[in-house]
Every structure is written in structure tokens, then in C-alpha cells.
Amino acid sequence: MTVLWPEEVRLEGEGLVLREWTEDDVAGMPELFDDPAVARFTPLASPFDEVAAKAHYAKCVNRRAEGKGLRFAITTDGSEPLGEVVLMLPGEPSDPVELGYMVGRAHRGQDLAARSLRVLTAYALQLGLSPLRLRIDSQNAASEAVARRAGYVPADLPPKVEIEKGVEVTLLTWEYAG
């Protein structure tokens, strides 16, 4: 599945502005993403340095151009990124749409992840995308709490065991319940 995105996608709601990453953001990405919790619970590179930041930005640009997804900086006013929220489209139209989120260590405790996930979920639903799913590491209780606050529930699907960064992880699927 691919989508022809508008020239600019900027989402507002819940006291947040979700905007697409810009090249100017690359220098600040390591401060957000180079964190043990991010390394443990996401597929992002670790350590997350300038090289990783440039690669991450290039991936954002490429996936958007291919119509396969969008990555947004989570902000309160459209300026300083506090984290990221992601919309990933499936390969086949019948496959689920996957969303994800990450908040920088210095910005946690403000409900940014749940608020940004609710805003992005509303946008995905406006586009007619469904089902909407999250894949959460079974050891990530904080992410499960975010999912619940954003209206997601555990899906009736078996856990999926994957190897990420050389470590076996069990991923649980959560689905938007409205």
C-alpha cells in the first residue's frame, strides 16, 4: 500500500504540533535517540550518533517519497523536537498499518507519547487506514500504558519472537479499539 501524501503534513491537537522532520533537526536527533531505553525497545541504531541521525533522516525522506510512511517530530509549538511518532504503511492493502512512538528522556512524564499517538491515530483514521496496530516489546510496560491511554488494546494474536540487534524480543500486537 502507498499513499500520495500532501506536500506538507502538519498535525495539531492535544496541545501538540506533529511536523515532519527537517534536515535542520538532524543535529539534535542524537540527544533524543541515543538513550538506553530507546536502544532497548526500538530498532533505532545504538549508539545513535551523527551518522545514525543522517541515516534516520534519509529513511524518513525515502519512505515519504515512496508513499510508505511518515515520521513526525513531536513538538509543542512546531519547533523543538521532543520525540517521534511514526505511521508505517503495509506492503499489502489488507495488512495492518503500524504506528510507533518514542519520547526523548528529558521530555518523558508529560504524556507526550499518548497524546501524539492519539493525534496520529485520528489522522490515520481520517485517511481511511485500518486496522491500526502497535508492536510492543513484552518487557516495555511504559509503552503498554501509553497504548492503553491512546485507545489501543491487546490484539487476539500470538506474540511474535524476533531478533533485534542480536537480542531475542517478544513483540505483542496491540490494535486500536476506538
Looking at every residue in the chain, the average pLDDT score rounds to: 95
Q: How many structural domains compose the chain?
A: 1
SS (H, E, C) the chain: CCCCCCCCCEEEECCEEEEECCHHHHHHHHHHHCCHHHHHHCCCCCCCCHHHHHHHHHHHHHHHHCCCEEEEEEECCCCCCCEEEEEECCCCCCCCEEEEEEECHHHCCCCHHHHHHHHHHHHHHHCCCCCEEEEEECCCHHHHHHHHHCCEEECCCCCEEEEECCEEEEEEEEEECC
- Span 18-31, mean pLDDT? 98
Q: pLDDT digits over 97-113, tens only? A: 999 999 999 999 999 99
Quick check: is 4 in a domain? Answer: no
Mean pLDDT of 5-16: 95
Domain of 41 in residue numbering reads as 10-176
d(CA 173, CA 157): 7
Dist. CA 99–CA 146, nearest whole Å: 12
Question: How far apart, in whole angstroms, are the C-alpha atoms of residue 142 and residue 92?
Answer: 30
Amino acid 24 reads: D
For the domain that residue 160 is a member of, what is the CATH number? 3.40.630.30
Q: What is the pLDDT of residue 167?
A: 87
pLDDT at residue 4 in the model: 79
Beta pairing class for 83-88 and 132-137? unpaired
pLDDT tens digits for range 73-87: 999 999 999 999 999
Does the pLDDT at position 95 exceed 90? no
pLDDT given for residue 164 in this prediction: 86
Give the pLDDT confidence of 114-168 residue by residue, as tens digits.
Answer: 999 999 999 999 999 999 999 999 999 999 999 999 999 999 999 999 998 888 9
Distance between CA atoms of residues 133 and 87, nearest Å: 10
Contacts of 133 (CB under 8 A, 6+ apart): 96, 97, 98, 99, 155, 173, 174, 175, 176
What letter represents residue 118's amino acid?
A: R
pLDDT on residue 166: 86
pTM confidence score: 0.95
Is 122 part of any domain? Answer: yes
